[in-house]
Amino acid sequence: MTRASHRVAVPVAGGDLTVGVWDAEDPAAPTILAIHGVTSSHLAWEFLAEFLPGVRIVAPDLRGRGRSNEIAGPAGMAAHAADLAAVSAAFDLGPVVVVAHSMGAFVAVAFAARHPELVARLVLVDGGLPLGAPAGLAPDQLVDAILGPTAARLNLRFASVAEYLDFWRSHPAFARDWTPELERYLAYDLVSAGEEGLRPATAYATTVEDTIDMNTTTTVADALAMLDRPAMLITVPRGLQNEEPGLYPDEHLTRLLAEHPQIAHERWDGFNHYTVVLSAAGAERLARVVADELALAAA
C-alpha cells in the first residue's frame, strides 16, 4: 500500500511553493528534506517514502516544476536555496539531513553553503559535483549536451495522460522498472496547455536558466568551497538514457573526488540516473543510507 502524503503551500518570492509531506506516526520522528531533479517533482520521493515509514519526508516541488511551476521570478541555485530556507522555516525543521537527486543535489550544496545552520548532513545522489560539460556552448546547446531528450520533451504536447505514459514506456531507462508508482509520478508532471492539450509542468526556459547556473558560473564551485557539512555522494554508471558512461565518467569522477576529499563516495552498479531513486531497488538501498545518516546526525 502506498504511503499517504499531503501537500502544503509555502509562500516564497514570486508565489507559493508546493511541498509534499509524508508524515510519520510518531510526532518525534526524524525529518529529512528531499530535493528532486531538474524536470522532476516531489513525487520522485514516493519510492523512498515506502522504505522509510518512521521518517517524515518534506519534499518541495522546486520553483518552475510540478505545482510550483507558476512562481514568478528567476530560478538558479540561489533562488532555490532561498526557497528551501522558507520551507525550513515553515516546517520549523532546524538542521536536517538533506537528500537530493540530480539538479537537486546542486541545489542542496548551495543551500548548505548559504544556510549551514539548517543542514546536518547531505546525501547527494548522482549530482552536486561539477559535471564535465563542454565549454563554449550556447545555452540551448549546453542543455542538449547534458539533458538531451529530457529537456526536448518539455516542448512537446500530449492529448492525454495515457499518451504521455506511452511516450515514457519506450524510454530505455525504465525498460525493467515500470511500476504504478512511476505512472503516478509521470501523470503528476502534466499540466494544461489550453487548446494544445497537456504539457510537462517544467518550463524549458527554467531548465535552461538552472543548467547555465550549474555549469557556466562559479555558483557550484563557490558553494563547494564554503561547504562545511558532512556529505555523501552516490554515483551510478549509467545516464539519463541508460547509457554508459553516466553523468560522472570514471576519469572525471576520480579527479572530482581528489579535489573534494571531504566528500564520501559510493558507486552503485546496476542503476541509471533515474532508477537510482525511481525504482524500488534504488529507493530501498538509498533508504539504508539515509537511515545511517540520520543516526550519525542524531549522534
Give yes or no for residue 272 having a pLDDT over 70. Answer: yes
**pLDDT for residue 1:** 53
**pLDDT for residue 135:** 80
Average pLDDT over residues 10-25: 97
Listed residue (74, 255, 240) closest to 146, CA to CA: 240
pTM, two decimals, is 0.97
Average pLDDT over residues 174-191: 96
More confident residue, 189 or 2: 189
**pLDDT for residue 128:** 98
DSSP class of residue 260 equals -
What is the DSSP pairing of strand 231-235 with strand 263-267? parallel
Give yes or no for residue 76 having a pLDDT over 80. Answer: yes
Listed residue (103, 160, 120) closest to 33, CA to CA: 120
**pLDDT for residue 149:** 87
Q: Of 10-24, 138-152, 244-258, 270-284, where does mean pLDDT reach its minimum?
A: 138-152
Average pLDDT over residues 233-256: 97
Average pLDDT over residues 273-288: 98
- pLDDT per residue as tens digits for the range 46-56: 999 999 999 99
Confidence of residue 57 (pLDDT cuts 50, 70, 90): very high
137 Cα distance to chain centroid = 24
Give yes or no for residue 29 having a pLDDT over 70. Answer: yes
Tell me the pLDDT of the chain averaged across its residues. Answer: 96
- pLDDT per residue as tens digits for the range 194-225: 999 999 999 899 999 999 999 999 999 999 99
**pLDDT for residue 2:** 79
SS3 (DSSP) at 27: coil
Q: How far apart are CA 73 and CA 263, in angstroms?
A: 33
Confidence of residue 7 (pLDDT cuts 50, 70, 90): very high
**pLDDT for residue 133:** 82
Average pLDDT over residues 28-42: 98
**pLDDT for residue 134:** 81
More confident residue, 134 or 145: 145
Q: How far apart are CA 153 and CA 238, in angstroms?
A: 20
Listed residue (235, 189, 219, 241) closest to 39, CA to CA: 189
What is the DSSP pairing of strand 15-22 with strand 96-101? unpaired
Beta carbons within 10 angstroms of residue 36's beta carbon = 26
**pLDDT for residue 259:** 96
**pLDDT for residue 90:** 98
- Give the H or E element holding residue 163: helix 161-169
Give yes or no for residue 270 having a pLDDT over 60. Answer: yes
- Return the residue matching grid coordinates 507558476: 70
